[in-house]
Amino acid sequence: MAQPKLRDQLGPERPMPPAGERHAFQVDQTSATMLNQNNLLKNPANLVRFFRENPTRLSVDAMNPALALTISRILVEGGALFISERLLDMSTKKWTERTDLIREHGRLLVQLGRPNSAVSRLKQLIENEPNSAANHFIYAFALVRVKPETDARKKEAIKHFEKVLFLDPKYRDSSGWSSSNIRNQLNRMKGSDPTGLVP
């Protein structure tokens, strides 16, 4: 018995379906579009989404310190705190002298519930820049958040909150804290305010 010809088994030759049977092939442009620098700048949410979907692309190799800080803040505003923390960790290791990066990293560590890590990183800021009100503020803020609370840490935090007001009586932190908030906090910590609440 003879085998049927292969052509008979496969059907007629049709290298391309007729125009009516063709389907438009569309490549998903989401990732490619998100890589477009202008699109990332116009819509910061795309930047957040991009790094959430591509965490391995997060690198400081091609960045400068200002760009790393800006991207970190965009990530925080977009709710990507852990990605921002990773970026700041890489940044502070690459640019060890940049106090703005160290301060921002400490602030974020406190926000993420890791004040112990923040205190150890921020202590060097105080030593390197003892006349910066912002450094004293974030260091004191981190000390207050460390648990369990101790008298020694409380006294240390009071000392640094007072130093903020000494250096800049009209201080306003980027978090929104003002000198009047710091005075109220000091009153609570010293026992002058019956609420005794911490920030």
| Span 115-160, pLDDT tens digits | 999 998 899 889 889 999 999 999 999 999 999 989 999 999 999 9
pLDDT the model gives residue 36: 55
Q: Are residues 119 and 198 in the same domain?
A: yes
Q: Is residue 162 in a domain?
A: yes
**Residue 72: Cβ-neighbour burial (10 angstroms; 0-12, 13-18, 19+):** buried
Residue 196 one-letter amino acid: G
* Predicted TM-score of the model (pTM): 0.72
Q: Which residue segment(s) compose the domain that 74 sits in?
A: 44-96
- Structural domain ending residue among the three candidates 96, 123, 140: 96
Q: Report how many domains make up the chain.
A: 2
Q: Taking the alpha carbons of 161, 133, 175, 147 in that order, is the dihedral positive or negative?
A: negative
CATH number at residue 174: 1.25.40
Distance between CA atoms of residues 193 and 191, nearest Å: 5
pLDDT reading at 164 higher than 50: yes
Q: Is residue 23 in a domain?
A: no
Q: Are residues 69 and 144 in the same domain?
A: no
Q: Are residues 128 and 199 in the same domain?
A: yes
Q: Are residues 91 and 123 in the same domain?
A: no
- Structural domain ending residue among the three candidates 53, 68, 96: 96
Distance between CA atoms of residues 124 and 127, nearest Å: 5
Q: Is residue 33 in a domain?
A: no
What count of other Cβ atoms lies within 10 Å of the Cβ of residue 18? 7
| Span 6-37, pLDDT tens digits | 555 555 555 555 566 655 544 444 554 445 55
Distance between CA atoms of residues 55 and 72, nearest Å: 14
The whole-number average pLDDT for the span 75-84 is 90
In this predicted model, which residue has the larger pLDDT, 70 or 56? 70
What count of other Cβ atoms lies within 10 Å of the Cβ of residue 54? 12
Length in residues, the chain: 199
pLDDT reading at 198 higher than 80: no
pLDDT reading at 191 higher than 90: no
Q: Is residue 193 in a domain?
A: yes
Residues 6+ apart with CB under 8 A from 160: 126, 136, 137, 139, 140, 143
The whole-number average pLDDT for the span 83-98 is 94
Q: Are residues 126 and 90 in the same domain?
A: no
pLDDT the model gives residue 1: 60
Q: Are residues 143 and 191 in the same domain?
A: yes
Distance between CA atoms of residues 158 and 25, nearest Å: 65
At residue 69 the predicted structure's pLDDT band, cuts being 50, 70 and 90, is: very high
At residue 195 the predicted structure's pLDDT band, cuts being 50, 70 and 90, is: very low
Q: Are residues 124 and 182 in the same domain?
A: yes
Q: Give me the DSSP letters along 95-150.
A: -TT-HHHHHHHHHHHHHTT-HHHHHHHHHHHHHH-TT-HHHHHHHHHHHHHSSS--
pLDDT the model gives residue 137: 95
Cβ atoms 34, 54 nearer than 8 A: no
pLDDT the model gives residue 39: 63
The whole-number average pLDDT for the span 52-80 is 89
Q: Is residue 153 in a domain?
A: yes
